[in-house]
Amino acid sequence: MYKVGVVGATGIVGQSFLKLIEERNFPLKELRPFASENSVGRKLKCNSQDWTVSALSEGCFDGLDVVFFSSGDDISKAWAPKAEAAGAFAIDNSAAFRMSKDHKLVVPEVNGHLLDKTKKEIIANPNCSTIQLAVALNPLKKFGLKDVRVASYQSVSGAGIAAKQELINQLKQAIANEKVDTSSGIFTKQIAFNSIPQIGSFKDDGFCTEEIKIMSETPKILGTDINMSAFTVRVPTLNGHAEAVWVTLDKDITKDEFINTLKSQEGLEVIEGDDYPTVLFNDGKNEVYVGRIHKDRQPNTWLFWVTADNILKGAALNGIQIAEKLFC
């Protein structure tokens, strides 16, 4: 039985951690939920018990076995090393440690072998849109991943709990023919009935930070250099990310080989023929889904469509699976 901390427990990813701890019978002895000062004293349910939210403070991780972090980069940067120093595993959903050469970036069914049960350390959970791509690309590695291009269609839940409400509010205003209020600044433009080709901030080379995360994290997880390009778009769906992927392989293979290879990947489901997954279909499901598999007109190049629940496999589920590998 383990003592668990969840930082950002009132957020969309944090709440999913609590739900998964219960649903997956994680051997929980004690839960310490943390959030901002605004949430101190709130009671959160897990395993039919109420647990009271605290603010982060010196010594707050003492005695814990694992701490899940889902409160953003700055909080992880400041507090995950304190969890590690207190003798806990720190499983971090932020981008703070993902590209550090001293930290592991783990998708359990892809590179879970890197985990070391004996070493209490900070383990980084990849970006949500990266995880589903890495799961789909992993089995194709044996054919040589020469070139990967990806265009994403990402739901508002990827921007946190307030972003979901923002879409609902804007949709109501737009349908009522009222002026749509975009003043919260959660999105750079109106998201209702729109799509926004920017996730994160732009860098000098024209890529936005979400695209850079996909392009830099994917090769690290797969353990191989890949020529990659990403273009990310926020779309007005509530939950789940979809991606159109073009992959050029070193080898010429048949469609059967391609599909059977994808089917061999743990955590990946293939939908064949004229049917395909959508984010609504994938909502609440643990698996990553692939469909629309067909050959491109370029040599050795394949196209497919990948969906996943960004809060589950893209965040909390991946974190819990890391903990299960460490403890169970």
- Contact residues for ligand NAP, defined by CB under 6 A: 7-14, 34-36, 38-39, 56, 70-72, 75, 93-94, 128, 157-158, 160-162, 310-311, 314-315
By beta carbon distance, the residue nearest ligand NAP is 11
Indicate the residue among 86 and 259 with the shorter CB distance to ligand NAP. 86
Tell me the C-alpha to C-alpha distance, in Å, between residue 213 and each of 50, 73, 288. Answer: 36, 13, 19
Active site annotation includes 241: yes
Report the SS3 class of residue 274: coil
Whole-angstrom distance, CA of residue 220 vs CA of residue 217: 5
- Would you give the DSSP letter of residue 265? S
List residues bridging with 122 in a β-sheet. 90
Q: Which residues contact 159 (CB under 8 A, 6 or more apart)?
A: 186, 187, 234
Residue 307 corresponds to which amino acid? T
Q: Least CB distance from residue 179 to ligand NAP, whole Å?
A: 26
Indicate the residue among 27 and 72 with the shorter CB distance to ligand NAP. 72
- Would you give the DSSP letter of residue 315? I
Q: Could you tell me the end-to-end alpha-carbon distance of the chain, in angstroms, rounded to an integer?
A: 10
Indicate the residue among 188 and 298 with the shorter CB distance to ligand NAP. 188
Indicate the residue among 42 and 292 with the shorter CB distance to ligand NAP. 42
Active site annotation includes 128: yes
A 10 A CB-CB count for 218 gives 26
On the CB side of 121, CA atoms within 13 Å amount to 18
Which residue in 46, 128, 294, 328 is the catalytic one? 128
Indicate the residue among 92 and 109 with the shorter CB distance to ligand NAP. 92
Whole-angstrom distance, CA of residue 143 vs CA of residue 150: 18
Whole-angstrom distance, CA of residue 85 vs CA of residue 80: 9
Indicate the residue among 186 and 253 with the shorter CB distance to ligand NAP. 186
Q: In what order do the strands lie in the sheet with 2-7?
A: 28-34, 2-7, 66-69, 89-92, 122-124, 104-105
Catalytic residues: 128, 241
